[in-house]
Amino acid sequence: MTMNVLLTGGAGYIGSHTAIELLDMGHSVVIVDNFSNSKPEALNRIREITGKNFKFFEADVCDSAAMDKLFSENEIECVIHFAGLKAVGESCAIPVKYYRNNIDSTLTLLETMKKHGVNNFVFSSSATVYGDSDKMPLTEDMPTLTSGSPYGRTKLMIEQILTDACSADPELSVVLLRYFNPIGAHKSGRIGEDPSGIPNNLMPYISQVAVGKLPKLGIFGNDYPTPDGTCVRDYIHVVDLAKGHAKAIDYAASHKGAEAFNLGTGVGYSVLDIVNSFIKVNGIDLKYEFQPRRAGDIPECYSDPSKAERELGWKAERTIEDMCRDSWNWQKNNPNGLN
């Protein structure tokens, strides 16, 4: 069944890749974004890659009047809420802005959806809601924790708000997608992760060192209780993640209530595994040095993704080699990102 899907934050990294998957499958897409962390060029690239058009609204999702107008002018059947601020460190410096943006946008959407009779909601949550659990792999029934950053707490609070909204409204259907570590890019090399300023996350940092924009990678800690001493994460190709959203909108349309799913591969790779794979797959050199641990990092974090396979019919297919190859293909073809 094809649907008319609203993608908030659809000009961003995960939203743009999801837009491509949905358009390729024949869904209609409407995007709203305020470009607080993305560029209009992303929209041109989505059109170029898919050969399909979609409606775009430049607006803040916290703006009720703008959202009301959007829902009045479009027969939205499902909302995927990507829009949000996502930098862990920044969220400690400007927490109020993070709470205002991430929570207010969600509340505004819930109110507007109710008014317009839209019942299907997919939310970009994060593995961060598990806090620093020492049991791995993580399953959806494990307790969620409030340790971590204001960013992480916005995700946890939003999960709770959405769950409460479902308890009170038997028509509402919410899918909470707990992403692990998305990396990689569309195989065309025309869209990818385009962080502003110096990247916080591992793969964009590696790519920018490889392309010569940054002198060397600092590996934060090599004395963790992991096989090689560096932190272990569950990296997932962004295209696999995007495909998970296509399954999630089908699930939302045929279920009621709130349900959480891990979207990961179930395999943990260390920072050194990623660095070595990037060097090998792409045949390039990469300068790095070990540095002290980064505050807030946990030694290991990886998913049990079996619930998503069982109930959504989704499984990550792309390998770590695919992720490293596609990240580099994007970066080398767009050394300055999307301009």
Would you name the residues annotated as active-site residues? 151
In the list ligand UFG, ligand NAD, none, the entry touching 271 (Cβ below 5 to 8 angstroms by class) is ligand UFG
Of all residues in the shown chain, the one whose CB is closest to ligand UFG is 231
Using CB under 6 A as the binding rule, the residues of this chain from 117 to 136 that contact ligand NAD are 124, 126
DSSP state of 303: B
For ligand UFG, the binding residue among 105, 108, 120, 126 (CB under 6 A) is 126
Least distance (Å) from ligand NAD to the CB of residue 155? 7
DSSP 116-156: HT--EEEEEEEGGGGTT--SSSB-TTSPP---S-HHHHHHH
| Interface segment toward ligand UFG; rule CB under 6 A; list 8-16, 39-47, 109-117, 126-134 | 126-134
Least distance (Å) from ligand NAD to the CB of residue 33? 4
In the list ligand NAD, ligand UFG, none, the entry touching 163 (Cβ below 5 to 8 angstroms by class) is none
Which tokens sit at 244? 């998970």
**Burial of 188 per CB tally in 10 Å (0-12, 13-18, 19+):** middle
Q: Is 73 helix (H, G, I), strand (E, B) or coil?
A: helix
Using CB under 6 A as the binding rule, the residues of this chain from 55 to 74 that contact ligand NAD are 60-62
Asked whether the beta carbons of 112 and 64 are under 8 A apart, the reply is yes
In the list ligand NAD, ligand UFG, none, the entry touching 189 (Cβ below 5 to 8 angstroms by class) is none
Please, what is the angle between helix 95-116 and helix 64-73, to 10°? 30
233 binds ligand UFG per the rule CB under 6 A: yes
Q: How far apart are CA 45 and CA 156, in angstroms?
A: 33
111 binds ligand NAD per the rule CB under 6 A: no
82 binds ligand NAD per the rule CB under 6 A: yes
DSSP state of 230: S
Asked whether the beta carbons of 149 and 85 are under 8 A apart, the reply is no
Tell me which residue has tokens 């837009």: 19
Rg (C-alpha) for the chain, rounded Å, is 19
101 binds ligand NAD per the rule CB under 6 A: yes
Which is nearer to ligand NAD, 126 or 331 (by Cβ)?
A: 126
Q: Which amino acid appears at position 88 of this protein?
A: V
Instruction: Give the binding site for ligand UFG (CB under 6 A).
Output: 86, 88, 126-128, 152, 180-181, 200-202, 205, 217-220, 231, 233, 271, 294, 297
Instruction: Give the binding site for ligand NAD (CB under 6 A).
Output: 8-9, 11-15, 32-38, 60-62, 82-84, 86, 101, 105, 124, 126, 179, 181-182
